[in-house]
Chain A
């Protein structure tokens, strides 16, 4: 089946630093990628929609200058958490929309756990 990878799987950083998370579609091209955030014991909430070659569309309440998204190719999108603070600690999951085999749907990555000290 289709595979979406995320790197790193977990990261611990100091408050004030920036962290970059990569999302790759490994065996299909993804014109659209999505970034979700999940706080403990809560469900996934969409942060932004990323289309290859254009600016990301952010959900209400998500700061675009804090969460920088770049979708430079059809297989890679990156999320950079700038000047991270402890309240940004969360589980970040990406998904990639594309055609893998006979099914065109969203495929989810394994997630990145971010802990900001």
Chain B
């Protein structure tokens, strides 16, 4: 059974710092991995999607890496801003049309 774990559960850093959020999954047979952002009381915003054959994806100040063999992914946020404050969810799927399994999220707070 696939399980997704995110560490840390919460993180507070001053503005401007670079930071790394971690995600691990128990079964390396994944189809893809996604990082989402969720603001309080809101839905999901897809940030980055990494296919199983890829090692990383970049979008602006965000970079996500994937190491399937070790069951790990990281989300790197450069030059953090207060607007980055949100909960970040890591999620994996095992096939193109299968359910997505979510981690418990990391609640990020960027202090001005």
Give chain A's interface residues, CB within 8 Å of chain B: 31-32, 34, 42-46, 49, 91, 93, 95, 97, 103-106, 108-111, 113
Interchain CB contact under 8 A, A44 and B89: yes
Interchain CB contact under 8 A, A44 and B46: no
Instruction: Say whether, besides A93-B44, A109-B43, A110-B42, A46 and B100 are in contact (CB < 8 Å).
Output: yes
- Known pairs A43-B103, A44-B89, A91-B41. 10 more at Cβ < 8 A? A43-B102, A44-B102, A46-B100, A93-B44, A105-B32, A105-B49, A106-B100, A108-B36, A109-B43, A111-B44
Tell me the smallest distance from the CB of B107 to a CB of chain A, in Å. Answer: 8
Q: A114 to B43, alpha carbons, bound, how many Å?
A: 14
Interchain CB contact under 8 A, B104 and A42: yes
From 15 to 52 in chain B, residues with beta carbon under 8 angstroms from any chain A beta carbon are 32, 36, 41-44, 46, 49
Give the interface size bracket for B toward A.
10 to 19
* Interface stretch (choices B57-65, B77-85, B91-99): B91-99
Query: From A113, which residue of chain B is reached at the shortest CB distance?
Result: B41
Interchain CB contact under 8 A, B43 and A32: no
- CB contacts (< 8 Å) of A113 on chain B: these are 41
Instruction: Say whether, besides A32-B97, A104-B96, A106-B93, A43 and B46 are in contact (CB < 8 Å).
Output: no
Query: From B6, which residue of chain A is reached at the shortest CB distance?
Result: A43
Q: A43 to B100, alpha carbons, bound, how many Å?
A: 12
- CB contacts (< 8 Å) of A31 on chain B: these are 97
Interchain CB contact under 8 A, B105 and A34: no
Q: A97 to B97, alpha carbons, bound, how many Å?
A: 6
- CB contacts (< 8 Å) of B96 on chain A: these are 97, 104-105
